[in-house]
Amino acid sequence: MAKKKTNSDSSISKKTKNDVAVGVVGSGSFATAIVKMLVENCKTVHWCVRNEFVKGAIELRGHNPTYLTAVNFNLKNLKLTTDVNELVTACDVVVLATPSIYLSDTLDKMTCEYKDKIFVSAIKGIIPKVNDVVAHYLKEEFQIGFRNQAVIAGPCHAEEVAMERLSYLTVATVEDETSQKLVNIFNSDFIKVNSSKDILGNEYSAILKNIFAIGAGIASGLGYGDNFTAVFVSNAIREMETFLEAIYEAPRDVNESAYLGDLLVTAYSLFSRNRNLGNLIGKGYTVKSAIQSMNMVAEGYYAADSIYKTAKQKKLELPIIDTIYAILYEGKNAEKQFKKLTAKLN
């Protein structure tokens, strides 16, 4: 069993934390929450937002006009831009927090020097352009090796960060120095940070838990209760372990917070957009109408296709993944599919 090091009590001085040149790319709810985390420790946080409207609104009112609007920022702590090259040039640490479906459009504009930068993925989805995870996308498309990468995992809902409710992050990176730097800039009174070296395991688990959360939501919409959901999640964590071992063997314990904890909060929480998507489908919405009714991206929908096909290539038996794929992409009836699934769970 892999033992994870907790780094909540950092001995690094405040001045050292404040000197880190860090930026966030993205202006959704989790990107906004990450900016809130970083301003706790950093004198200046660079923030690349979607467009001039968002930039102007934040500069005028001190908060994101669309997401987590209750979070007010001291504008002296922010350097806003809509130019990804301006942000990357200015920063040593670049946190990527766009929805996965928009990342390639954003990074395709990156023409500046980025060789020595650290890229941190807070994205929990598959990149459609390459049908792969962010870690592989950065490595293959931009030659950014794992030594210059990190992955952020939960459990950490943006809405609870906004309310400064105690939340936990896991930062996965292979370099100890990078790990310590990231722990220092994220750790605060309401954010506790753990470290891991399982980059791919943390990234894939964050993707898988979104798919499973859609299933938990479907079950809720269909009228299944807490007893079934408990069995469903118990089976889901086993499917996650099976998938992770087939994709990338590493010393890991899926009962740790970055795996099981993130799965639990995403499957149960009313803040979970993936659970909410599933709940609408369970209540009778078509998949298309359920997606259109949401104002945020549910990453699990886009990831389910890729994960299902990868599982089939690996010849993995994953009944929950199969069921959710059939509902989302084959137009199968949710009630009938879940009735079949109940016979396969234990």
Residue 69 has pLDDT above 70, yes or no: yes
Annotated binding site: 124, 158, 273-274
Phi, psi of 47 (to 5 degrees): -140, 115
The pLDDT tens digits of the residues spanning 291-316 come to 999 887 889 999 999 999 999 999 99
As a whole number, mean pLDDT of residues 41-67 equals 95
Query: How many angstroms separate the CA atoms of 178 and 320, rounded?
Result: 36
Amino acid (one-letter) located at 313: Q
Q: How far does CA 58 lie from the centroid of its chain? A: 24
Burial (0-12, 13-18, 19+ Cβ within 10 Å), 293: exposed
- pLDDT band with cut points at 50, 70 and 90 for residue 18: low
Q: What is the pLDDT of residue 123?
A: 95
Task: List the domains of the chain with CATH numbers.
Answer: 22-197 (3.40.50.720), 201-343 (1.10.1040.10)
**How many residues make up the chain in this entry?**
346
Query: How many angstroms separate the CA atoms of 158 and 169, rounded?
Result: 12
The answer to whether residue 312 is catalytic is: no
The pLDDT tens digits of the residues spanning 165-192 come to 999 999 999 999 999 999 999 999 999 9
Catalytic residue among 117, 209, 312, 332: 209
The pLDDT tens digits of the residues spanning 102-113 come to 999 999 999 999
Q: What is the pLDDT of residue 30?
A: 95
Query: How many angstroms separate the CA atoms of 258 and 263, rounded?
Result: 8
Identify the CA nearest to 68 among candidates 206, 223, 271, 251: 271
Residue 9 has pLDDT above 80, yes or no: no
Q: Tell me: cis bond preceding 251? Omega within 30 of 0 counts.
A: no
Q: What is the mean pLDDT of the chain?
A: 92
Q: What is the pLDDT of residue 285?
A: 96
SS3 86: helix
Phi, psi of 71 (to 5 degrees): -85, 115
Q: What is the pLDDT of residue 249?
A: 83
Identify the CA nearest to 50 among candidates 87, 22, 75, 90: 87
Six token digits for residue 306: 């890729």
Phi, psi of 195 (to 5 degrees): -120, 155
Q: What is the pLDDT of residue 20?
A: 87
Annotated binding site for NAD(+): 158, 273
With a pLDDT cut of 90, the percent of the chain lying above it is 88
Q: What is the pLDDT of residue 1?
A: 45
What is Dmax (Cα atoms) for the chain? 59
Identify the CA nearest to 71 among candidates 125, 105, 35, 103: 35
Q: Is 168 within 8 Å of 154 (Cβ atoms)?
A: yes
With a pLDDT cut of 70, the percent of the chain lying above it is 95
Q: What is the pLDDT of residue 109?
A: 95
Annotated binding site for substrate: 124, 273-274
pTM score: 0.90
The pLDDT tens digits of the residues spanning 198-254 come to 999 999 999 999 999 999 999 999 999 999 999 999 999 999 999 999 998 888 999
Q: What is the pLDDT of residue 10?
A: 42
The pLDDT tens digits of the residues spanning 246-265 come to 998 888 999 999 999 999 99
- pLDDT band with cut points at 50, 70 and 90 for residue 8: very low
Query: How many angstroms separate the CA atoms of 95 and 171, rounded?
Result: 12
As a whole number, mean pLDDT of residues 58-75 equals 95
As a whole number, mean pLDDT of residues 110-123 equals 96
- pLDDT band with cut points at 50, 70 and 90 for residue 14: very low
- pLDDT band with cut points at 50, 70 and 90 for residue 6: very low
- pLDDT band with cut points at 50, 70 and 90 for residue 154: confident
Q: Is 346 within 8 Å of 235 (Cβ atoms)?
A: yes
